[in-house]
């Protein structure tokens, strides 16, 4: 993922250097509540959490959490996500979501973090492996869902139901729910999934997308997305039957029953 500076739509306040200095002064890397207060000030100055660059810089530089433009929610609160997490653009992370990319040791004499977490002041460096967790663009993770170390990737446009416990990777555009989480269905048929992925629409700013919202706000055929983003339209016999096939009454009932929200 590119740094916050590589996204021109993110805003840096003229006070950004002072805000970063304040974060250092209050030892925000360890004092997370104070860090969150600093980040909220920065967000107010920079157009809200979806557009603020300073908070993203602080998370990246001091917490090893990288958050793309327009993503919002728990991922922007210092200390809520562990180090080595990347969150894609336009991701929606609901309250209470927790992610983990490191387990307690199960084959040591003790399972206590005193013996592997340097932040607790006993050991000098982290001695347990931790992997990068990738949360893709336009992902929606519902309230109080948990992502465990068994998952390394939540795919593009995926939906994780409220209260789900994710123990393995989530495919692109999948809707998962339950304990442990299982694929309930896919948001779109395969042809439409390919069409949506090919647009890379999430790489564009909201100002660019606002000029023509119809392909993104309607239950539309894959062809409409391809035309909107200047892609070649597939032959008629292979064209996508459209999102309407996926968004049926059965789909709505399934989502509501499994608590996606």
Catalytic residue among 12, 23, 104, 112: 104
What pLDDT does 69 receive? Answer: 92
What pLDDT does 40 receive? Answer: 87
At residue 3 the predicted structure's pLDDT band, cuts being 50, 70 and 90, is very low
Residue 139 lies in a domain: no
What pLDDT does 109 receive? Answer: 86
> With contact defined as beta carbons under 8 Å apart, do 60 and 4 qualify?
yes
Can you tell me the distance from the alpha carbon of 249 to that of 217, in angstroms, rounded to the nearest whole number?
Answer: 18
> With contact defined as beta carbons under 8 Å apart, do 17 and 23 qualify?
no
Residue 250 lies in a domain: no
CA angle 170, 111, 75 (to 5 degrees): 40
Q: Is 131 designated active site?
A: no
Name the domain boundary from 68, 103, 120.
Answer: 68
What average pLDDT does the segment 240-261 reach? 36
Residue 4 lies in a domain: yes
Widest pairwise Cα distance in the chain: 65
Number of domains in the chain: 2
Q: Of residues 83 and 117, which shows the higher confidence score?
A: 83
Asked whether residue 55 carries a pLDDT value surpassing 50, the answer given is yes
What pLDDT does 254 receive? Answer: 36
Nearest CA to 70 among 145, 153, 4?
4
Residue 166 lies in a domain: no
At residue 71 the predicted structure's pLDDT band, cuts being 50, 70 and 90, is very high
Residue 22 lies in a domain: yes
Asked whether residue 90 carries a pLDDT value surpassing 70, the answer given is yes
CB atoms within 10 A of CB 154: 29
What pLDDT does 222 receive? Answer: 64
Can you tell me the distance from the alpha carbon of 1 to that of 91, in angstroms, rounded to the nearest whole number?
Answer: 13
At residue 242 the predicted structure's pLDDT band, cuts being 50, 70 and 90, is very low
Name the domain boundary from 12, 38, 68.
Answer: 68
Residue 168 lies in a domain: no
Name the domain boundary from 40, 68, 96.
Answer: 68
Residue 106 lies in a domain: no
Domain containing residue 219: 188-245
List strand residue ranges (DSSP E) for the chain, in order.
65-67, 72-73, 85-87, 92-93, 98-99, 133-135, 140-141, 146-147, 153-154, 159-160, 165-166, 174-177, 182-186
Can you tell me the distance from the alpha carbon of 167 to that of 76, in angstroms, rounded to the nearest whole number?
Answer: 23
CB atoms within 10 A of CB 106: 6
Q: Of residues 142 and 192, which shows the higher confidence score?
A: 142
Can you tell me the distance from the alpha carbon of 202 to that of 200, in angstroms, rounded to the nearest whole number?
Answer: 5
pTM for the predicted model, two decimal places: 0.79
What average pLDDT does the segment 9-24 reach? 86
What pLDDT does 219 receive? Answer: 65
Residue 117 lies in a domain: no
What pLDDT does 175 receive? Answer: 97
What average pLDDT does the segment 5-15 reach? 74
Nearest CA to 239 among 254, 224, 219?
224
């Amino acid at each position: 993922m590119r740094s916050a500076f590589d996204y021109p739509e993110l805003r840096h306040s003229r006070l950004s250097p002072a805000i970063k200095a304040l974060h250092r002064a209050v030892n925000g890397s360890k004092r997370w509540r104070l860090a969150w207060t600093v980040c909220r000030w920065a967000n107010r100055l920079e157009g809200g959490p979806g557009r603020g660059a300073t908070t993203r810089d602080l998370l990246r530089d001091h917490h090893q959490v990288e958050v793309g433009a327009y993503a919002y929610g728990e991922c922007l609160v210092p200390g809520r996500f562990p180090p080595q997490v990347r969150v894609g653009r336009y991701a929606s992370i609901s309250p209470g979501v927790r992610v983990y990319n490191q387990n307690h040791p199960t084959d040591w004499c003790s399972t206590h973090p005193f013996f592997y977490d340097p932040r607790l002041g006993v050991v000098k460096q982290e001695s347990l492996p931790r992997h990068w967790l990738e949360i893709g663009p336009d992902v929606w993770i519902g309230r109080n869902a948990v992502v465990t170390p068994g998952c390394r990737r939540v795919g593009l446009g995926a939906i994780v139901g409220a209260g789900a416990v994710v123990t393995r990777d989530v495919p692109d555009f999948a809707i998962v729910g339950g304990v442990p989480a299982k694929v309930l269905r896919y948001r779109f048929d395969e042809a439409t999934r390919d069409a949506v992925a090919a647009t890379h629409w999430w790489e564009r700013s909201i100002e660019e997308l606002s000029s023509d919202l119809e392909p993104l706000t309607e239950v539309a055929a894959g062809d409409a997305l391809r035309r909107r983003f200047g892609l070649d339209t597939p032959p008629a016999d292979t064209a996508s039957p459209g999102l309407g096939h996926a968004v049926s009454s059965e789909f709505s009932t399934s989502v509501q029953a499994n608590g996606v929200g």
